[in-house]
Amino acid sequence: MSYGMTAALQSAVYGRLSADAGLAAIVGTDVFDAMPPGPEPEIYVTLGPEKVRDRSDGSAGGALHEFSVSVVTTGAGFHLAKEAAAAVSDAVLAAPLTLSRGRASRVHFTRAKAVRTSANRRIDIWFRARLDEAVA
């Protein structure tokens, strides 16, 4: 198994979301890997948990990454959060992710969950990515 590509995947997803014009129209520059200090934005996107399993074969190391991206809003309803979640999904799936290490041979949406708390609305969007070590 190779866990070595996980930082490359995180960087690629963060870069894709940060550069996406459709998502920026909804959340501006509020795409985070970790929340900065200060007040919480009205709506923002943050990278979430990840689970990784071995998918190596006889020729190279590989891993199956299940990762989430969350949309959080302090607004009263889910409509704007759902628009942002759709933009996140569209951005992640728009084209193959370019990694600084290895390659993403497949990325797809697996599930989403919307929850309401007393403080906010949150949509967690889960993706699955098959990553392969580059073979020389």
Q: Is the model more confident about 80 or about 37? A: 80
pLDDT confidence band for 60 (50 / 70 / 90): confident
Residues 126 and 48: their CA atoms lie apart, in Å, by: 9
Residue 15 has pLDDT above 60, yes or no: yes
In whole angstroms, how far apart are CA 87 and each of 18, 59, 64, 105? 12, 36, 23, 22
Distance CA 61, CA 103 (A): 11
Specify the amino acid at residue 44. Y
Q: Say whether pLDDT at 96 is over 70.
A: yes
- Cα 74 to chain centroid distance, Å, stands at 20
Identify the pLDDT of residue 119: 86
What structural domains does the chain harbor? 6-132 (3.30.2000.30)
What confidence score (pLDDT) does residue 57 get? 75
| pLDDT number for residue 80 | 95
> What number is the average pLDDT over the span 59-78?
90
Which stretch of 56-65, 79-88, 105-114 has the lowest confidence by average pLDDT?
56-65
Encode burial over 120-130: b for 16+ CB neighbours within 10 A, e otherwise: ebbbbbbbebe
Q: What integer best gives the mean pLDDT of the chain?
A: 92
Q: What type of residue is 18?
A: S
| Res. 7: pLDDT tops 70 | yes
Above 80 in pLDDT, residue 58? no
